[in-house]
Amino acid sequence: MFNIQTTDANILETKSLGYIFFFEQDKVVLNKEILELIPFAQEITKQREFKGSNGQILDLTAQYQGQAITCLLVGIGTHKNDILSLEHYRRAIAKCVRVIEKFKLTTISIELPYAKIFNISTQRLAYETTVVLLKSGYHFDEFITEKSARVSINSEIYLCSNNIENNKEINDGINLGNVVGKAINDARTWCDTPPSRLTPAILAHKAKEIADKNNLKITIFNQSDITKMGMGGLEGVAQGSQHECKFVILEYNCNRPNAQTIGLVGKGITFDSGGLSIKPANSMETMKDDMAGAAIVISTMQVIANTRPGVNVIAFAPIAENMPSGTAIKPGDVLRFYNGKTAEVKNTDAEGRLILADALSYAVKNYNLNAIIDIATLTGACKYAVGPGYAALLSQHDDLAAKIQAAAKISGDKVWPLPMDDDYKNAIRCDIADISNTGSPAYLAGTITAAFFLQHFVSDIPWVHLDIAAIAFDVPDKPYFRSGATGFGVRLFTDLILNWNK
Q: Which residues bind ligand BES (CB under 6 A)?
A: 272, 290, 347, 349-352, 377, 379-381, 438, 446, 469
Only one of the segments 85-93, 255-263, 282-290, 476-484 lies at the binding site for Zn ion (rule: CB under 5 A); that segment is: 282-290
Least distance (Å) between residue 380 CB and ligand BES: 3
Residue 438 binds which entry of Zn ion, ligand BES, none, CB below 5-8 Å type-dependent: ligand BES
CA 239, 489, 175 angle in degrees (round to 5)? 125
SS3 389: helix
What is the nearest approach in angstroms of ligand BES to the Cβ of residue 298? 18
Q: 345, 343, 353, 315: which is closest to 203 by C-alpha?
A: 315
Secondary structure (DSSP) of 40-96: THHHHHHHTT----TT-EEEEEEEETTEEEEEEEEE-----SSHHHHHHHHHHHHHH
CB closer to ligand BES, 170 vs 238: 238
Between 313 and 345, name the residue whose CB sits nearer to ligand BES: 345
Distances (CA, A) of 151 to 70, 95, 358, 434: 19, 14, 42, 52
Interacting residues of 28 by C-beta distance below 8 A, sequence separation 6+: 45, 50, 51, 52, 73
Q: Of the two residues 34 and 269, which places its CB atom closer to ligand BES in the complex?
A: 269
Residue among 208, 279, 383, 425 flagged as catalytic: 279
Report the partner that residue 446 touches, choosing among Zn ion, ligand BES, none (CB closer than 5 to 8 A by kind): ligand BES
Give me the long-range contacts of 429-435 (CB less than 8 A, separation at least 24): 430/343, 430/344, 432/334, 432/344, 433/334, 433/342, 433/343, 433/344, 434/341, 434/342, 434/343, 435/341, 435/342, 435/343, 435/344
DSSP, collapsed to helix, strand or coil, labels residue 160 as: strand
SS3 271: strand
**At a CB cut-off of 8 Å and minimum separation 6, what does 413 contact?**
391, 488, 489, 490, 491, 492
Tally of CA atoms within 13 A in the half-sphere of 223 that contains its CB: 15
Using alpha carbons only, give the angle 45, 49, 53 rounded to the nearest 5 degrees: 100
| Min separation Cβ 134 and ligand BES, Å | 25
Shortest distance, position 174 Cβ to ligand BES, whole Å: 34
First to last CA, the chain: 34
H helix intervals, 219-284: 223-228, 232-238, 281-284
Distance in angstroms (rounded) separating the CA atoms of residues 249 and 226: 13
Q: Identify which of residues 186 and 272 has a Cβ nearer to ligand BES in the complex.
A: 272
**How many Cα atoms sit within 13 Å of 101 on the Cβ side?**
22
Shortest gap between Cβ of 42 and ligand BES (angstroms)? Answer: 51
Report the residue number whose CB is nearest to ligand BES: 380
- Pick the closer one to ligand BES by CB: 336 or 383: 383
Given 95, 353, 403, 414, the catalytic residue: 353
Interaction partner, residue 240 (ligand BES, Zn ion, none; CB < 5-8 Å by kind): none
Our finding on whether 352 is near Zn ion (CB under 5 A) is yes
Closer residue to ligand BES, CB minimum distance, 129 or 438:
438
Residue 244 binding: pick among ligand BES, Zn ion, none (C-beta 5-8 Å cut-off by kind): none
Binding mask 285-304 for Zn ion (x = CB under 5 A): -----x--------------
Rule CB under 5 A: choose which of 272, 333, 374, 413 binds Zn ion.
272
The closest of 150, 147, 153, 172 to 161, measured between CA atoms, is: 172
Asked if 409 and 86 touch (Cβ cutoff 8 Å), the reply is: no
Binding-site member from 251, 349, 358, 413 for Zn ion (CB under 5 A): 349
Output 25 or 283, the one with its CB closest to Zn ion: 283
Residue 91 or 267 having the CB closest to Zn ion: 267
Size, binding site for Zn ion by CB under 5 A? 6
**379 interacts with, out of ligand BES, Zn ion, none, CB within 5 to 8 A per kind:** ligand BES
Backbone φ and ψ for 466, nearest 5 degrees, come out as -115, 120
Which 451-480 residues touch Zn ion, going by CB under 5 A? none
Active site residue 353: yes
Contacts of 238 (CB under 8 A, 6+ apart): 200, 223, 226, 244, 245, 320, 321
Cβ nearer to ligand BES, comparing 241 with 302: 241
Q: Are 74 and 57 in contact (CB under 8 A)?
A: yes
For the annotated catalytic residues, the residue numbers are: 279, 353
Q: What residues line the site for Zn ion (CB under 5 A)?
A: 269, 272, 290, 349, 351-352
